[in-house]
């Protein structure tokens, strides 16, 4: 058990992780993720946790990964959390696991001959997708057939059809043991009460066997890196065969080699993190792009998996992209080709992002605690080593080009990868549809009307059992928390033109004196303890003519455009990106704020408080003086067009697209940004450029800037360490006079 008293005390969060290893594709880990919530032996009622959660200001969630199944509990305040904690843990150790729950949640055939079940339906939607098939085949190529890392823990449909409840019960017995559960508590925690609750709960559990239990993955045979480079082609169903994707992966360093693991992460960022990163520079940010996006990620296993995913590749250039990725990596083994200055910048940026993320969300440390539990030393000493300092970043900041090149050579060049080429196939799409219809026909023929009626009756009985009402007396016996005891985060708001004095008096006075006369902006501060500050510029799109709204996917890239200053100085986009990355921790041009107010536009920048003035200057330079150059705009539009095929494969995006095009008018930003609605528009822009009419596009973009980026159309929100920002008003006054 580990707990972190996080700096935002308004809520308590519990993360309960079970190490789950299985050598097949049956889906037992995933099914338990669902069945646990169907009731516990002491209180055999489906949805008890959710019903109690409504009374205790809480929410629950769960997910299944390759090596762990994780359950979460988040409550507003400690009082509700301490009540629900033992009940939730009891669900994990003593679920009902009834046949009725297995039938409805895992797999069944209904009275109409249709295959259903919550888990089965979920996998039915995922299994045909290109990303899923590519990653599944990567895992089965990198890892041995009987390795837990090669399994599809969600369950393949072919296996879920035959999975029995007895198999699930046996898996639960083997994995859901007290010694195989990690409990992480973050946020608002009363240490004494927590220890008392956990001690009392632990006393109710059966004694552990004196015989040492096998640790999942740690005590299993280890998968070693490949002995040869492998390239496989995997088809996925799609009518549009124009755009493909690939994933390339390696088995990397052991999990306990902390410095090397941080170092390979830095290499991944060095290659992919911004438009000027090597992979993007050579594959994405070019005329006729070879890809639309490149991502780096890791699988944090007993040996770390290192993966690059490349999307939006013209299908005929798929193998070329694989070759170019490997060639770029090979070239980086030569110190003459390695950009040490840029890598030092990357290390510093990633260090700041890590600090900012841990300040915002304790999940970063929670993940470290879970990985230490699964793969670290049983004595827990690794946890302190992995969380108490940032020494790895400091060490890497002093590495030489030779050291970086040696690392790249060891893990990305001499180490053999597996590449999965994901190729869209209209023929496969047709054959799968045909096979689905044939299977439905066979089911109906097999059972007949009588058999289907019996299946319906069996399903109805199971649903009736599962839906047994929870007695009101049970819900009320646990009481209710007192909302007044929720310890909210202390903040100090301050607004101009309306001043609220809960902010420190001296800061408020200094701020007021610092502002220029007739300051035109609406300005709101929320002050709380933080190493960083964030500025949100909120703008209304009603100021922009509706026929120009479809350009906003281009305007969103404004932080990656060149700048022409009034002095005549020209800053190419590469230097703009470098400067922005060095001075800002985060920057984003997006709809709304925190997924709200989507008809507004938000420019958000996050920065170290010492970089406040530089951050304001970047807002001025980017918003006011960005240059709409033909070469840059053409590349941006080509990426938008090339990304369409991949977006159309995303069922969730297609659902929202239909909503936006149906519900909203042409004056709506959501409709104007919809990728289906703008498809012909952006293809038309490319034709304009080819016809020598870029000046028309540039005039439209300039018009958008004039309407959008002016102080009469802005409200400014500053959150974080606001009282530590020096000469706040003067810098914002400068912003007002320039924008």
135-148 pLDDT, tens digit per residue, is 999 999 999 999 99
C-alpha to C-alpha distance for 161 and 109, rounded to whole angstroms: 10
C-alpha to C-alpha distance for 685 and 413, rounded to whole angstroms: 41
Joined tokens for residue 559: 């932080």
End-to-end Cα spacing for the chain: 53
Q: For 712-735, what is the mean pLDDT?
A: 73
Least confidently predicted of 4-13, 221-230, 405-414: 4-13
Q: 303 pairs with which residues across the strands?
A: 254
C-alpha to C-alpha distance for 190 and 207, rounded to whole angstroms: 27
Q: What's the sign of the alpha-carbon dihedral 318, 323, 326, 331?
A: negative
* Residue-level pLDDT at 378: 81
Sort strands 522-527 and 714-720 into parallel, antiparallel or unpaired: parallel
pLDDT exceeds 90 at position 517: no
pLDDT exceeds 90 at position 518: no
Helix/strand/coil percent split, the chain, to 5: 50, 20, 30
Residue 611 sits at the vertex; the CA angle it makes with 609 and 617, to the nearest 5 degrees, is 130
Q: Quick: pLDDT tens for 182-201.
A: 999 988 888 899 999 999 99
C-alpha to C-alpha distance for 261 and 588, rounded to whole angstroms: 28
If one counts every other C-beta atom within 10 angstroms of the C-beta of residue 699, the result is 11
> 54 or 733: whose pLDDT is higher?
54
Least confidently predicted of 80-84, 251-255, 364-368, 658-662: 364-368
> 526 or 516: whose pLDDT is higher?
526
Helix (H) or strand (E) holding 356: helix 340-360
pLDDT exceeds 50 at position 350: yes
Reduce the DSSP state of residue 202 to 3 states and report it.
helix
Q: For 673-680, what is the mean pLDDT?
A: 94
Q: What is the DSSP string of 76-90?
A: ESHHHHHHHHHHHHH
C-alpha to C-alpha distance for 724 and 735, rounded to whole angstroms: 19
Q: For 289-316, what is the mean pLDDT?
A: 97
Reduce the DSSP state of residue 49 to 3 states and report it.
helix
Q: For 709-738, what is the mean pLDDT?
A: 74
C-alpha to C-alpha distance for 30 and 64, rounded to whole angstroms: 6
pLDDT exceeds 60 at position 134: yes
* Residue-level pLDDT at 501: 38
* Residues with Cβ within 8 Å of residue 109, at least 6 apart in sequence: 115, 116, 443, 447, 452, 455
* Residue-level pLDDT at 730: 59
pLDDT exceeds 90 at position 737: no
* Residues with Cβ within 8 Å of residue 98, at least 6 apart in sequence: 38, 44, 165, 465, 466
* Residue-level pLDDT at 700: 97
Closest CA to 120 of 133, 112, 109, 135: 109
Closest CA to 531 of 351, 383, 730: 351
* Residues with Cβ within 8 Å of residue 115, at least 6 apart in sequence: 107, 108, 109, 124, 161, 439, 443
What is the average pLDDT value for the chain, to the nearest integer?
Answer: 91
Q: Quick: pLDDT tens for 364-414.
A: 788 889 999 999 888 777 777 777 678 999 999 999 999 999 999 999 999
DSSP state of 411: I
* Residue-level pLDDT at 381: 75
DSSP state of 223: P
Please, are residues 564 and 625 in contact by the beta-carbon 8 Å criterion?
yes
Q: What is the DSSP string of 227-267?
A: SS-EEEEEEEE-S--SEEEEEEEEEEEETT-HHHHHHHHHH
Reduce the DSSP state of residue 526 to 3 states and report it.
strand
Q: Quick: pLDDT tens for 413-440.
A: 999 999 999 999 999 999 999 999 999 9
Q: What is the DSSP string of 90-111?
A: HHHHSB---HHHHHHHT-EE-T
Least confidently predicted of 22-26, 123-127, 486-490: 486-490
* Residue-level pLDDT at 6: 52
Q: Quick: pLDDT tens for 327-341.
A: 999 999 999 999 999
Closest CA to 78 of 546, 487, 529: 487
Residue with tokens 């096979």: 435
Please, are residues 411 and 264 in contact by the beta-carbon 8 Å criterion?
yes
DSSP state of 503: S
Residue 681 sits at the vertex; the CA angle it makes with 676 and 684, to the nearest 5 degrees, is 135
* Residue-level pLDDT at 503: 46
At residue 254, what are phi and psi to the nearest 5 degrees?
-65, 150
Please, are residues 383 and 30 in contact by the beta-carbon 8 Å criterion?
no
Rounded-to-10 torsion of CA 263, 265, 271, 274: -120
pLDDT exceeds 50 at position 500: no
Q: For 442-446, what is the mean pLDDT?
A: 95
Q: For 346-372, what is the mean pLDDT?
A: 89
Predicted structure pTM score: 0.91
Least confidently predicted of 28-32, 451-455, 614-618: 614-618
* Residue-level pLDDT at 507: 53
Reduce the DSSP state of residue 737 to 3 states and report it.
helix
**CA dist list (Å): 584 to 393, 570, 610, 720, 726:** 18, 21, 11, 14, 17
pLDDT exceeds 80 at position 120: yes
pLDDT exceeds 80 at position 448: yes
> 245 or 725: whose pLDDT is higher?
245
Please, are residues 147 and 67 in contact by the beta-carbon 8 Å criterion?
no
Q: 58 pairs with which residues across the strands?
A: 75
C-alpha to C-alpha distance for 693 and 729, rounded to whole angstroms: 43
DSSP state of 280: I
* Residue-level pLDDT at 359: 84
Residue with tokens 């959008």: 708
* Residue-level pLDDT at 492: 55
At residue 424, what are phi and psi to the nearest 5 degrees?
-70, 145
Q: For 530-537, what is the mean pLDDT?
A: 90
Helix (H) or strand (E) holding 115: strand 115-116
**Going from the N-terminus, what domains does the chain have, and what CATH number goes with each?**
230-423 (3.30.830.10), 492-738 (3.30.830.10)
Please, are residues 312 and 647 in contact by the beta-carbon 8 Å criterion?
no
* Residue-level pLDDT at 508: 53
Helix segments in 527-572, DSSP class H: 552-555
Joined tokens for residue 641: 């067009």
Closest CA to 225 of 334, 149, 320, 324: 149
**CA dist list (Å): 113 to 116, 165, 434:** 9, 21, 16
Reduce the DSSP state of residue 648 to 3 states and report it.
helix
pLDDT exceeds 50 at position 23: yes
């Amino acid at each position: 058990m580990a707990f972190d008293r996080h700096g935002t005390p308004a809520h308590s969060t519990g993360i309960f992780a079970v190490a789950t290893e299985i050598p097949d594709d049956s889906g037992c880990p995933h099914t338990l993720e669902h069945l646990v919530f169907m009731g516990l032996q002491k209180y055999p009622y489906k949805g008890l946790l959710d019903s109690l959660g409504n009374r205790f200001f809480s929410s629950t969630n769960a997910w299944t990964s390759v090596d762990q199944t994780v359950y979460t509990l988040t409550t507003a305040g400690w009082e509700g959390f301490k009540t629900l904690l033992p009940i939730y843990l009891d669900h994990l150790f003593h679920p009902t696991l009834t046949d009725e729950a297995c039938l409805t949640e895992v797999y069944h055939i209904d009275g109409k001959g249709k295959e259903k079940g919550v888990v089965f339906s979920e996998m039915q939607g995922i299994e045909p997708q290109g990303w899923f098939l590519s990653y599944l085949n990567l895992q089965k190529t990198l890892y041995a057939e009987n390795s837990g890392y090669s399994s599809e823990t969600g369950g393949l449909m072919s296996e879920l059809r035959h999975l029995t409840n007895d198999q699930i019960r046996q898996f639960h017995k083997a994995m859901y043991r007290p010694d195989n559960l990690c409990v992480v508590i973050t946020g608002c925690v009363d240490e004494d009460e927590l220890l008392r609750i956990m001690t009392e709960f632990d006393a109710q559990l059966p004694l552990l066997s004196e015989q040492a239990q096998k640790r999942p993955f740690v005590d299993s045979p280890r998968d070693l890196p490949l002995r040869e480079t492998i390239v496989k082609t995997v088809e996925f169903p799609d009518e549009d065969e124009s755009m493909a994707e690939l994933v390339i992966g390696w088995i990397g360093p052991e999990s306990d080699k902390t410095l090397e693991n941080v170092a390979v992460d830095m290499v991944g960022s060095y290659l992919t993190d911004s438009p000027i990163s090597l992979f993007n520079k050579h594959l994405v940010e070019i005329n006729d792009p070879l890809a639309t996006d490149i991502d780096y990620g890791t699988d944090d296993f007993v040996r770390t998996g290192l993966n690059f995913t490349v999307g939006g590749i013209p299908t005929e250039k798929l193998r070329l992209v694989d070759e170019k990725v490997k060639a770029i990596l090979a070239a980086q083994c030569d110190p003459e080709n390695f950009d040490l200055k840029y890598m030092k910048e990357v290390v510093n940026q990633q260090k700041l992002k890590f600090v900012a993320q841990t300040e915002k969300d304790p999940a970063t440390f929670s993940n470290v605690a879970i990985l230490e539990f699964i793969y670290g030393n049983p004595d827990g000493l690794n946890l302190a080593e992995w969380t108490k300092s940032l020494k790895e970043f400091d060490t890497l900041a002093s590495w030489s080009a030779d050291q970086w090149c040696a690392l790249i050579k060891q893990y990305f060049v001499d180490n053999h990868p597996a590449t999965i080429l994901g190729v869209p196939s209209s023929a496969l799409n047709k054959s799968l549809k045909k096979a689905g219809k044939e299977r439905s026909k066979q089911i109906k023929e097999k059972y007949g009307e009588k058999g289907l009626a019996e299946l319906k009756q069996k399903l109805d009985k199971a649903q009736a059992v599962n839906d047994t009402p929870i007695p009101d007396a049970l819900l009320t016996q646990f009481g209710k928390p007192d909302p007044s005891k929720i310890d909210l985060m202390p903040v100090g708001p301050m607004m101009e033109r309306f001043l609220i004095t809960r902010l420190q008096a001296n800061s408020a006075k200094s701020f007021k004196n610092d502002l220029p006369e007739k300051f035109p902006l609406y300005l709101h501060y929320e002050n709380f303890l933080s190493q960083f500050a964030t500025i949100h510029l909120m703008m209304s799109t009603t100021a922009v003519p509706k026929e120009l709204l479809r350009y906003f996917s281009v305007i969103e890239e404004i932080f990656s455009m060149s700048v022409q200053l009034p002095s005549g100085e020209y800053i190419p986009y590469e230097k703009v990106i470098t400067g922005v990355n060095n001075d800002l921790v985060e920057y984003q041009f997006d709809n709304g704020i925190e997924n709200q107010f989507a008809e507004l536009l938000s420019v958000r920048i996050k920065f170290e408080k010492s970089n406040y003035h530089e951050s304001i200057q970047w807002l001025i330079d980017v918003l006011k003086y960005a240059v709409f150059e033909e070469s840059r705009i053409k590349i941006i539009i080509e990426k938008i067009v090339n990304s369409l095929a991949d977006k159309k494969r995303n069922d969730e995006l297609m659902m929202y697209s239909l909503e936006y095009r149906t519900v909203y008018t042409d004056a709506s930003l959501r409709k104007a940004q919809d990728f289906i609605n703008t498809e012909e528009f952006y293809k038309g822009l490319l034709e304009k450029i080819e016809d020598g009419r870029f000046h028309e596009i540039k005039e439209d973009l300039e018009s958008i800037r004039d309407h959008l980026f002016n102080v009469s159309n802005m409200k400014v929100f500053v959150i974080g360490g606001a009282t530590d920002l020096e000469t706040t008003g003067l810098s914002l006054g400068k912003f007002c006079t320039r924008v």
